[in-house]
C-alpha cells in the first residue's frame, strides 16, 4: 500500500512542472509579462538591457530618463519573485536611486529618506579631483613663487638702519584682534586641509586610526574656532575700514610697484595699496567663507545657492563665460554640496593671499613684524613705507612718537 | 607679544564658549535630526 502511495507522489511531483506556466526566456525579445503595469516590452521597463550594457561599455551614459520613469515591478509583479514575497534587488535599488522607494526612517531630517543621491556624484568627483589638485597646487605654487621672490629680491631692509625712535602703529586691541584672526585662520586652514586631504594622504601614511582621531579633533576645532574668526573679522573691519578706502596715493604706489621693484619708496598713508588689497581680500573672502561656513555648520537651514544662482542667471553671468544657466532648483543636499565647494575654493584663495601676507610681514621685510608684535615701528621704517602717515603723526599726534627704541 | 598671546587665549575662550553654548542649544545634527527613541546615549 505504502509503495503505491509513494509511486503516486513521485509521479505527481514529476508532472507538476508540466502544469506550471512557461518561464521567461531571458534571451528572448518577446515582451515579458508582468514586468510593468502595461506589460510593455523589456526595453522600456526599468530593467537593464543588453544595449544598456553595451552603451555603458562604450562610455555612454545609461538611459536615465527611461530608468527613472520605469522603475520595474513590485513584489507581486517581479518575475518569479512574487511567491517569495519580495521584489528583485535591482528593482529596489533602482527605486532607491530615483527616490521612488517607500523609505521609512526615524530621523527628523526631512532629507533623511534620500538614500542615494545621484546628483551628488559630480560633487564627490570634483571634491576628490580638481578641488584637491588645483587647491593643493595653488598653495604649493604660492610658496614656490614667494621663495623665488625672496631669492631674487632678498629681504627689504630699512634704508639707513633703525633710528631708535619708535612710532606707535597699532594699539593693543588692534593687535589682539589681528592675532585672533590670524591664529583662528591658521587653525581653520590646517584643520580644513586635514579634512580635505586626510583620506588621500594621511591614511596611507599614518593609518586609519590616526586619521580618524585627527579629523574628529579637526571637526571640533573647525566648528568652534570659526566663531573667533568671525568675531575678529568684524573687529578688524570696524577698526581699519576707514584707513583702507582707496585713494589717489594708491595710484602712485601701483606705478612704483610698491617700492618692491627698484629702490623708490612711494608715499603712503597708514595702509598702502598693497595692504589695502590684503585687507579687502581678507574681508571679502572672509565674509564669503564665513557665510558658506555657517551654511555648513547648520545643515539645510541656510540654503544659499538657489537664490544666488537665480540672481546670477538674471544678470546672465554664466552666459558671459559661455556656460548654460546655473541650476536653481537645487535639492537640499545639492545646496550643501555647493556650500562645501565654495567654502573650500574661497578658503584656498584666502590661504594663498595670507601666505603672501605672512611672507611680507616676517621674512620679506625688515621691521614689518614689529607693527603687530610690539605695535611700535622704527621711525625710518615708517618714513620708508608710510611717509604720509608719519607726517600726519608728527603734525597732529606727536605723542605717538617715542624716543625709546622699538622692540 | 602680549597682544599675540592674549589673542590666542581669546581663541581658546571663544572656542570653548562656542562649544558649550551650541551644545546647550542642541546644535549638533544628532540632536537636531534624531528623535529620542533612536538615541541610546
B9 touches chain A (CB under 8 A): no
Question: How deeply is A292 buried, as exposed, middle or buried, from its count of CB atoms within 10 A (0-12, 13-18, 19+)?
Answer: buried
Query: Residue A357 to residues A12, A83, A368, B15: CA-CA distances in angstroms?
Result: 90, 71, 11, 25
Q: State the pTM of this model.
A: 0.78
A383-397 mean pLDDT: 89
pLDDT at A69 over 60: no
pLDDT, tens digit, 9 for 90 and up, residues A131-158? 999 999 999 999 999 999 999 988 888 8
Q: Classify residue A126 by burial, with Cβ atoms within 10 Å: 0-12, 13-18, 19+.
A: middle
Q: B33 at the A interface (CB within 8 A)?
A: yes
Residues A71-107: b if buried by 16+ CB within 10 A, e if exposed: bbbeeebbbebeeeeebbeebbebbbbbeebeeeeee
- Asked if B15 lies within 8 A of A224 by C-beta distance, the reply is yes
Which chain B residues contact residue A223 at CB under 8 A?
A: 18-19, 22
- In the numeric block, the cell 518575475 is attached to A79
Rounded distance between C-alpha atoms, residue A308 and residue A353, angstroms: 25
Q: How many residue pairs from chains A and B have C-beta atoms closer than 8 A?
A: 79
Contact criterion met (CB < 8 Å) for B22 and A224: yes
- When the pLDDT of each residue in chain B is averaged and rounded to a whole number, the result is 84
Q: Do A374 and B1 touch (CB under 8 A)?
A: yes
Residue A168, φ and ψ in degrees, nearest 5: -75, 115
Kindly list the residues from chain B whose CB atom is less than 8 angstroms away from the CB atom of residue A232.
7
Position A279 pLDDT exceeds 50:
yes
Closest Cα in chain B to A221? B15
- Considering chain A, what is the average pLDDT of its residues? 82
Distances (CA, A) of B31 to A72, A389, B16, B36, B37: 37, 53, 19, 9, 12
Question: Residue A239: pLDDT above 90?
Answer: yes
Q: Which phi and psi (to 5°) does residue A276 adopt? A: -65, -35
pLDDT in tens, A1-37: 445 555 555 555 444 434 433 333 434 444 333 223 3
Phi, psi of A365, deg, nearest 5: -140, 125
Other residues' Cβ atoms within 10 Å of the Cβ of residue A4:
8
- Choose the closest CB to B10 out of A176, A226, A373: A176
Average pLDDT of the segment spanning B2-20: 96
- In this complex, the residue of A176, A220, A231 whose CB is nearest that of residue B3 is A176
What is the mean predicted confidence (pLDDT) over A148-169? 89
The rounded distance, in Å, linking the Cα atoms of A155 and A364 is 5
- By a Cβ cutoff of 8 Å, what residues of chain A touch chain B? 106-109, 112, 172, 175-180, 182-184, 187, 220-221, 223-228, 231-232, 298-299, 372-375
* Residue A180, min C-alpha distance to chain B (Å): 5
Query: Between the CA of residue A403 and those of A164, A185, A389, A406, what are the distances in Å?
Result: 7, 35, 18, 9
Whether B40 contacts chain A with CB within 8 A: no
C-alpha–C-alpha distance, residues B31 and B25, integer Å = 9
Amino acid at each position: 500500500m505504502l509503495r503505491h502511495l509513494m509511486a503516486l507522489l513521485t509521479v505527481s511531483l514529476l508532472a507538476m512542472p508540466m502544469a506550471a506556466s512557461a518561464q521567461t526566456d531571458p534571451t528572448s525579445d518577446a515582451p515579458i509579462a508582468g514586468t510593468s503595469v502595461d506589460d510593455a516590452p523589456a526595453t522600456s521597463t526599468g530593467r537593464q538591457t543588453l544595449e544598456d550594457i553595451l552603451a555603458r561599455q562604450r562610455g555612454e551614459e545609461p538611459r536615465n530618463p527611461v530608468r527613472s520613469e520605469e522603475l520595474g515591478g513590485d513584489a507581486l509583479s517581479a518575475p518569479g519573485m512574487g511567491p517569495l514575497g519580495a521584489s528583485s534587488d535591482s528593482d529596489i535599488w533602482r527605486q532607491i536611486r530615483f527616490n521612488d522607494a517607500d523609505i521609512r526612517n526615524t530621523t527628523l531630517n526631512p532629507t533623511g529618506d534620500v538614500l542615494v543621491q545621484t546628483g551628488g556624484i559630480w560633487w564627490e568627483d570634483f571634491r576628490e579631483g580638481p578641488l584637491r589638485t588645483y587647491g593643493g597646487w595653488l598653495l604649493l605654487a604660492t610658496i614656490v613663487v614667494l621663495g623665488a621672490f625672496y631669492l631674487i629680491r632678498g629681504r627689504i631692509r630699512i634704508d639707513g638702519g633703525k633710528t631708535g625712535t619708535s612710532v606707535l602703529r597699532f594699539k593693543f586691541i588692534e593687535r589682539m584682534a589681528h592675532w585672533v584672526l590670524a591664529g583662528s585662520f591658521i587653525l581653520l586652514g590646517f584643520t580644513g586641509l586635514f579634512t580635505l586631504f586626510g583620506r588621500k594622504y594621511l591614511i596611507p601614511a599614518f593609518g586609519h586610526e590616526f586619521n580618524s582621531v585627527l579629523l574628529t579633533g579637526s571637526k571640533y576645532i573647525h566648528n568652534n574656532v570659526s566663531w573667533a574668526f568671525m568675531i575678529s573679522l568684524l573687529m578688524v573691519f570696524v577698526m581699519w575700514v576707514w584707513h583702507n578706502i582707496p585713494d589717489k596715493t594708491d595710484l602712485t604706489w601701483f606705478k612704483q610697484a610698491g617700492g618692491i621693484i627698484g629702490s623708490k619708496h612711494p608715499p603712503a598713508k597708514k595702509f598702502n595699496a598693497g595692504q589695502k588689497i590684503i585687507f579687502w581680500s581678507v574681508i571679502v573672502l572672509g565674509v564669503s567663507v564665513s557665510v558658506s561656513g555657517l551654511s555648513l555648520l547648520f545643515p539645510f537651514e541656510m540654503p544659499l545657492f538657489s537664490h544666488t544662482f537665480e540672481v546670477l542667471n538674471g544678470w546672465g553671468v554664466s552666459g558671459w563665460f559661455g556656460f548654460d544657466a546655473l541650476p536653481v532648483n537645487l535639492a537640499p543636499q545639492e545646496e550643501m554640496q555647493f556650500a562645501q565647494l565654495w567654502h573650500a575654493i574661497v578658503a584656498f584663495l584666502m590661504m594663498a593671499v595670507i601666505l603672501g601676507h605672512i611672507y611680507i610681514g616676517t621674512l620679506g621685510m625688515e621691521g614689518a613684524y614689529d607693527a603687530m608684535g610690539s605695535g611700535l615701528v622704527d621711525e625710518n621704517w615708517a618714513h620708508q613705507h608710510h611717509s604720509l602717515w608719519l607726517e600726519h603723526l608728527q603734525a597732529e599726534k606727536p605723542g605717538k612718537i617715542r624716543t625709546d627704541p622699538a622692540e | 607679544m602680549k597682544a599675540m598671546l592674549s589673542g590666542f587665549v581669546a581663541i581658546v575662550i571663544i572656542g570653548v564658549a562656542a562649544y558649550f553654548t551650541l551644545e546647550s542649544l542642541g546644535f549638533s545634527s544628532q540632536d537636531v535630526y534624531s528623535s529620542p527613541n533612536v538615541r541610546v546615549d
